[in-house]
């Protein structure tokens, strides 16, 4: 073990001791002491973090003092790096999984000597594996927002369909009963929105779901570090990407029997809210927005459909993690606060505030009587994601991949190979 690792391990051991002392000295009292202030920068709403901390402090003898700064996601990387260069910045960051890879050299890896991999994986859901390295963890999981399927009960009922689709292949029969086209083949009503990018909300995430369900990790660790696994020629598994992309694009091909979507239509969310789209693939966090924008729509929430012959049940999820910043002058206390914020009681509070499932298995195991939340909990357990160096760039890569197929310029295999090459360049330049 190097001198640096010894010192680092000592820091985390000290943090754990401090945390144990804090919990051990808890007494039911109206008086409380205040821990040193920790500055956290993140992309989650400041109102969420403030409410969470306020509720948590009502149960604690040692009150948390957190200076949380909300920064727009599009500005986070630039502003964070600029502040570090000027000798300023936060003690910790709270960011989506898509950002951690580009900032990994700015955070402290939590060593396995402080938290074992077994304990980590037993505590947090499977998507948390994104933060695992050979020697530790780049972040502590904080929040997950899994993708689910919203379906219009009225449209299904009127079409004589009793149940929402469980498998992707069911959309073939559903489309025959729901899809409506005029004499000019213009789509007036659709069962599913797939095949395009410009007017499909979360198209990148939907296509990622199909890749992940097929067993393709999109990105993975290789001998040269993180690399693309998107191409069938670069991934050691079976040819999985090509069928996934073929399935996605067939819905925008007028020559295909599955044809149900094109780029002239309104966005998928707008179409669902207007009652002209039977299913909408969105995130759990959108449930209240949909209800507020159209309180008259009769919809329910169901799991994302799966491949009938697939062995991997999964859906895409947006995960947020807490990372300790290297330049922090308050590392011991910051790590202690991070552990408090991700403990079971804190995670239960956060789940109630956000109406999103917890990242902790023990909190999920408590269940919920709310049918929406019950669906979200199930989705959280199977949620997965992939490490991304540049979300803006990868979204363009996915867009080009799809459009090259739908325009007829490239076959699916070649389109995926080109996208994989571009993704590798993005990963190398992180």
Confidence of residue 3 (pLDDT cuts 50, 70, 90): very low
Whole-angstrom CA distances from 381 to 147, 348, 357 are: 12, 16, 9
Grouping H, G, I as helix, E, B as strand and the rest as coil, residue 299 is: strand
224 vs 341: which has the higher pLDDT: 341
What pLDDT is stored for residue 239 in this prediction? Answer: 64
* Domains in the chain: boundaries: 3-144+318-374, 146-316+386-428
Give the Cα separation of 7 and 332 in Å (integer).
Answer: 12
Does the pLDDT at position 17 exceed 50? no
Q: Say what the pLDDT of residue 60 is.
A: 87
Cα–Cα distance, 302 to 387 (Å, whole number): 26
Quote the pLDDT of residue 2. 45
Percent of the chain clearing pLDDT 70 (strictly above) = 91
The token pair that represents 345 in the structure block: 């009681």
Helix axes 241-249, 391-406, angle to 10 degrees: 70
Distances (CA, A) of 325 to 26, 44, 140: 28, 18, 13
Question: Taking a C-beta distance cutoff of 8 angstroms, is the pair 182, 188 a contact?
Answer: yes
Element (H, E) at 280: strand 279-283
Looking at 3.30.70.260, 3.40.190.10, 2.40.50.140, 3.40.30.10, the CATH number of the domain 3-144+318-374 comes to: 3.40.190.10
Contact 227, 429 (CB under 8 A): no
As a whole number of angstroms, the distance between CA 113 and CA 136 comes to: 8
pTM listed for this prediction:
0.90
8 A C-beta contact, residue 325 and residue 91: yes
Widest distance between CA atoms in the chain:
76
pLDDT for 279-310, tens place per residue?
Answer: 999 999 999 999 999 999 999 999 999 999 87
What distance in Å separates the CA atoms of residue 383 and residue 315, rounded to the nearest whole number? 5
Task: Please check whether the two domains, 3-144+318-374 and 146-316+386-428, share a CATH topology.
Answer: yes
- Over residues 185-199, mean pLDDT: 95
Helix (H) or strand (E) holding 341, with range, is helix 331-341
Q: What is the pLDDT of residues 244-283, one digit of tens each?
A: 999 999 999 999 999 999 999 999 999 999 999 999 999 9
The superfamily CATH assigns to domain 146-316+386-428 is: Periplasmic binding protein-like II (3.40.190.10)
Comparing CA positions, the residue from 272, 274, 276 lying closest to residue 286 is 272
Mean residue pLDDT of the chain comes to 90
Surface-to-core class of residue 11, CB atoms within 10 Å of its CB (0-12 exposed, 13-18 middle, 19+ buried): middle
Q: Are 357 and 380 in contact (CB under 8 A)?
A: yes
How far is 228 from 146, CA to CA, in rounded Å?
A: 23
Q: Is the pLDDT of residue 11 over 60?
A: no
> What DSSP line would sit under 160-177, residue for residue?
T--S--SBGGGHHHHHHH
Partners of 364 in the beta sheet? Answer: none
pLDDT (mean) for 132-144: 95
């Amino acid at each position: 073990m190097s001198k640096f690792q010894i010192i680092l391990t000592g820091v985390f051991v000290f943090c754990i001791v401090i945390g144990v002392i804090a919990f051990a000295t808890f007494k039911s009292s109206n008086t409380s002491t205040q821990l040193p202030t920790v500055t956290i920068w993140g992309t989650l709403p400041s109102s969420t973090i403030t409410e969470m901390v306020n509720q948590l402090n009502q149960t604690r003898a040692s009150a948390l003092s957190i200076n949380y700064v909300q920064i727009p996601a599009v500005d986070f990387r630039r502003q964070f790096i600029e502040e570090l260069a000027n000798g300023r910045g936060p003690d910790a960051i709270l960011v989506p999984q898509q950002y951690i890879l580009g900032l990994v050299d700015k955070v402290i890896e939590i060593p396995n000597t402080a938290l074992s991999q077994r304990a980590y994986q037993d505590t947090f859901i499977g998507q948390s594996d994104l933060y695992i390295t050979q020697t530790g963890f780049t972040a502590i999981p904080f929040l997950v927002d899994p993708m689910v399927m919203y379906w219009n009960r009225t449209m299904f009922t009127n079409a004589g369909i009793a149940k929402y689709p469980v498998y992707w292949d069911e959309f073939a029969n559903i489309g025959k009963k729901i899809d409506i086209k005029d004499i000019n083949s213009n789509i007036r009503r659709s069962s599913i929105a797939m095949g395009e990018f410009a007017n499909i909300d979360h198209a990148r995430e939907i296509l990622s779901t199909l890749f992940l369900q097929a067993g393709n990790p999109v990105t993975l660790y290789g001998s040269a570090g993180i690399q693309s696994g998107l191409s069938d020629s670069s991934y050691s598994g079976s040819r999985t990407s090509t069928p996934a992309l073929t399935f996605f694009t067939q819905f925008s091909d007028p020559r295909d029997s599955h044809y149900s979507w094109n780029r002239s239509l309104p966005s998928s969310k707008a179409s669902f809210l207007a009652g002209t789209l039977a299913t909408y693939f969105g995130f759990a966090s959108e449930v209240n927005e949909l209800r507020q924008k159209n309180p008259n729509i009769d919809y329910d929430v169901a799991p994302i459909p799966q491949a009938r012959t697939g062995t991997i049940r999964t859906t895409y999820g947006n995960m947020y993690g807490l990372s300790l910043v290297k330049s922090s002058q308050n590392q011991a206390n910051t790590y202690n606060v991070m552990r408090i914020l991700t403990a079971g009681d804190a995670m239960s509070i956060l789940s109630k505030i956000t109406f999103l499932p917890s990242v902790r298995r023990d909190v999920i195991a408590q269940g919920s009587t709310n049918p929406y939340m019950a669906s979200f909990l199930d989705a959280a357990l199977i949620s997965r994601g992939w490490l991304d160096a540049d979300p803006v760039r990868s979204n363009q890569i996915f867009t080009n991949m799809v459009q090259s197929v739908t325009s007829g310029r490239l076959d699916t295999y070649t389109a995926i190979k080109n996208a994989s090459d571009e993704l590798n360049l993005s990963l190398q330049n992180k």
